[in-house]
A = this chain, B = another copy of it.
Amino acid sequence: MTVFAAEQQFHDAEASLPSHQARLACRAGLAQTTAGVAPGYIQGNLAILPETYAAAFHRFCQLNPKPCPIIGMSDVGDPMIPSLGTDLDIRTDLPRYRVWRDGELVEEPTDITAHWRDDLVAFVIGCSFSFEEALLADDIPIRHIEQKVRVPMYRTNISCAAAGPFAGPMVVSMRPLKPKDAIRAVQITSRFPSVHGAPVHLGLPQSIGIADIDKPDYGDPVRIEPDEVPVFWACGVTPQAVIAAAKVPFAITHAPGLMLVTDLKNKHLAVL
């Protein structure tokens, strides 16, 4: 490396946002959870579909904004999403992907350049990391973070509104909270509709079809204290479950917990 090149690299690193650096690390092959990466920056769920399915999926998201709040989209066939970040290449900038064929998970690569096609459309969907940051900033403890496990998620009996082949139950994430924190959490997350917004349920898991709170359908179980109520938010795993159930010939999503890190800031999502 010449002195000039080394200086230029140093200069680039200086200028680059932590979110951009995180994406560059993923591009270089880093494949681990993005929880805690680039604090303050919005992370997103990913869904990539062929154009023939994209319109129906877009309509599904429009109809179901709580589980599927779209925060960014690519043009057809274009892997760059400049509205979400500098130099953001959706084919390389996530830690790990899931490739689906006819509803079956067939591969979990760290790069989808080989899978990219001219007819693909990428959807980036808001993620609970954003509102968890707002809860923690308000001194509301989050159990799965304390226990260092994944948030527990459940399929419910709440039906999403269907669009074309996309239909199915809403998946929710659960955080146990003291009632006064639950009330405060409703207030705080109501300010963030683009990252799932207010809870969809609290207190009575059976009412939304959850038979055993200790057996989540995704993620890990967490402890619920006797003076806590379970609080449920619509979850970004919903679109992934719906895409799998629709058995579309081809789709790509992110691997759960290994999200897209954008250059947008969580605090800018607050509507008031």
Contact = CB atoms under 8 A, between A and B. Distances in A.
Interface of A: 179-180, 182-183, 186-187, 190, 198-204, 207, 227, 229, 272
B187 A198 contact: yes
Q: Among the interface residues A179, A198, A200, A204, which one has the most CB atoms of the partner chain B within 10 A?
A: A179
Contacts of A179: 201-204, 207
Contact of A187 (B190, B202, B203, B207): B190
B199 A227 contact: no
A180 B200 CA distance: 6
A259 to B, nearest CB: 26
Pick the 3 closest A-B CB pairs, nearest first.
Answer: A186-B186, A203-B229, A203-B203
Given A183-B186, A187-B198, 5 more contacts: A179-B202, A182-B203, A183-B200, A186-B186, A187-B190
Contacts of A201: 179-180, 183
B190 A202 contact: no
Contact of A186 (B187, B200, B203): B187
Contacts of A182: 202-203
A207 B204 CA distance: 17
